[in-house]
Structure 1
């Protein structure tokens, strides 16, 4: 997945934001994402500083460890990123209600034929 310069700049910001909110250290996050314990802190630090950008699979593992959707880590729009993170914490039923409310606000045809 090619990344624009703005996308690669947003990942470090979102990663650090989510890590601080979770209360994890860089080392704890790295280990939880499957990075070797001896290099976990340094690797996460490199991701947060923007020195290195992880491949999508590592981004997914970091997101799982942080309990945020992977899309949150790559979303450039701050408001949309907040919506993604908030929606991820809702139950399935509440997500359905949120989708219906959003559709009503935008008065658009649903993107899916069924919202199970």
Structure 2
């Protein structure tokens, strides 16, 4: 059973924020929010109280150095793959895609 999209986004956002070592306020400020509301806004995104528009999700992902798709992945293994893929060089991405396609063709 998958979690609701808002809670998936919030869970992934918190996971990435903690891995980056940022407070909610720091993340909000670095993503362009007013310092006065930054902490509360990020907290509400993480709790799923408010939804994030895609343009702002891109800004959050940029600050957190994760692919924006990671924030929306409702499967834990897929989220891990997206994160790993996003951290690879272009050459290694191409190698991985070629390998994945060969695995797919062999099944």
TM-score range, shorter chain: over 0.9
Aligned residue in 1 for 2:11: 13
Residues 80-91 of structure 1: matches in 2 within 5 Å? 80-91=78-89
Residues 1-116 of structure 1: matches in 2 within 5 Å? 6-107=4-105
Q: Is the 8 A contact 2:5 2:72 kept in 1?
A: yes
For structure 2, the residue ranges without an aligned partner over 5 or more in a row are: none
For structure 1, the residue ranges without an aligned partner over 5 or more in a row are: 109-116
- Cα offset for 1:75? 0.9
CA RMSD of aligned residues (A): 1.2
Instruction: Map Cα deviations across residues 23-52 of structure 1 (whole Å, 9 max, x no partner).
Output: 111111001111111111111011011111
Bigger relative CO (Cα 8 Å, ≥ 6 apart)? 2
Q: Secondary structure of 1:107's partner?
A: helix
How many residues of Structure 1 are paired with residues of Structure 2 in the alignment? 104
Structure 1 distance, partners of 2:19, 2:105, is 34
Structure 2 distance, partners of 1:24, 1:7, is 23
Aligned residue in 2 for 1:114: none
Question: Where has structure 1 moved over 6 Å in runs of 4 or more?
Answer: none
Structure 2 distance, partners of 1:40, 1:91, is 32
